[in-house]
Amino acid sequence: MPEVVVAKAREGKFNKNAARRVRVAGKIPAVIYGPGADPVALEVDPKQISRILFSETGHNTIFDVEINGTVSAKAMIVDWQREPLKDLLIHIDMKRIALDKKLQVSVRVKLVGIPVGVKAEGGILDQVLREVNVECLPADIPSHIDVDVSAMKMHSSLRVADLPHSDKITFLNAADATIAHIVSIREEAATAETADVAATTAEPEVAKKGKPEDAAAAKKPEAKK
């Protein structure tokens, strides 16, 4: 049985004060949009959304959205925003999907095994890409892509072209993009030192996932009453 996200349609003004009242009541503001119907402003249970995001399929989970007691659409979470200090969900965007239409999604790459270059040659396995972009039907979205790296030797690389392919999934990354490689400890230390220098000279910025709610509201029409 698919997950059912229980939601309530929001009415009235959609500003910061209204959003704050939703959160004080133990819910978070949300919006669902996509083909087939107008965007609808909602309030949902953050615990249920967190359970979906931390599940095996994560943000690629397909679920039913029940609005005011009626199941209205199948959807996925396409964007979310967290409060940076407490790391609490404060807003999500959901998109309606059609099971017969292909989607473009990101899928986690899981490296399996201990490479020869690590076990016998003293190297370090460095994973460059942790997710790849794919296009497929909703029912064919993998929870993750497993890759056996046990045969990798020192200075060898794993590329997108080396991932397991099927006729159901199309990889959108460049075929020669590096997923992982085996590097020496000296190379890894030099890379880390370069990254530290870049971090100290870069301008600070606020780290967020997703869009600010005001920006999202400005781009999408208000829900119909």
Cross-strand partners of 28 = 44
pLDDT in tens, 106-134: 999 999 999 999 999 999 999 999 999 99
Same domain, 77 and 108: no
CATH number at residue 137: 2.170.120.20
On whether residue 30 sits in a domain, the answer given is yes
CA 85 to chain centre: 20
195 occurs within a structural domain: yes
The two structure tokens encoding residue 173:
């990354």
Q: Which amino acid is at 197?
A: V
Question: Cα separation of 158 and 165, whole Å?
Answer: 14
pLDDT of 36 reads: 84
Q: What is the domain-level CATH number for residue 79?
A: 2.40.240.10
Distance between CA atoms of residues 107 and 134, nearest Å: 7
17 pLDDT band, cuts 50/70/90, is confident
Asked, for residue 15, whether it belongs to a domain, the answer is: yes
Q: Is residue 211 part of a domain?
A: no
Residues spanned by the domain of 65: 3-98
Of 20-34, 38-52, 112-126, 187-201, the range with the lowest mean pLDDT is: 187-201
